[in-house]
Amino acid sequence: MENLWLETDAQGLGGVWLGIAPQEERMKAVEEVLDLPENVRTFAIFPYGYPAEERKQKDRFDESRIHYIE
């Protein structure tokens, strides 16, 4: 997934990694929509395409959310 994301960025595409595992109901829903065989399980989906608009990336870094034990 990470490599796919990096390559779409290099091509001028936008995308988002949507993790669905281990939520069994989400995994089953995606598998049904995609009509996947029973031996194939989904863990994430990655929709991508050309962005409809250009937006600057938001700085969401919050140092107060980082915790560590010495």
Domain with 15 in it: what CATH number?
A: 3.40.109.10
Residue 29: inside a domain, yes or no? yes
Residue 60: inside a domain, yes or no? yes
Amino acid 15: pLDDT:
85
Residue 31: inside a domain, yes or no? yes
Q: What is the pTM of this model?
A: 0.60
pLDDT tens for the 70 residues of the chain, in order: 788 778 887 888 888 889 999 999 999 999 999 999 999 999 999 898 988 888 888 899 999 999 989 8
CA dihedral 20, 62, 12, 33 (to 10 degrees): 10
The total domain count for the chain is 1
Please, what's the b/e burial string for 56-68 (b: 16 or more CB within 10 A of its CB; e: otherwise)?
eeeeeeeeeeeee
- The residue with tokens 């669905």 is 20
Residue 70: inside a domain, yes or no? no
Dihedral class, residue 28 (left if φ above 0, else alpha if ψ from -120 to 50, else beta): alpha
* Domain limits for position 43: 2-65
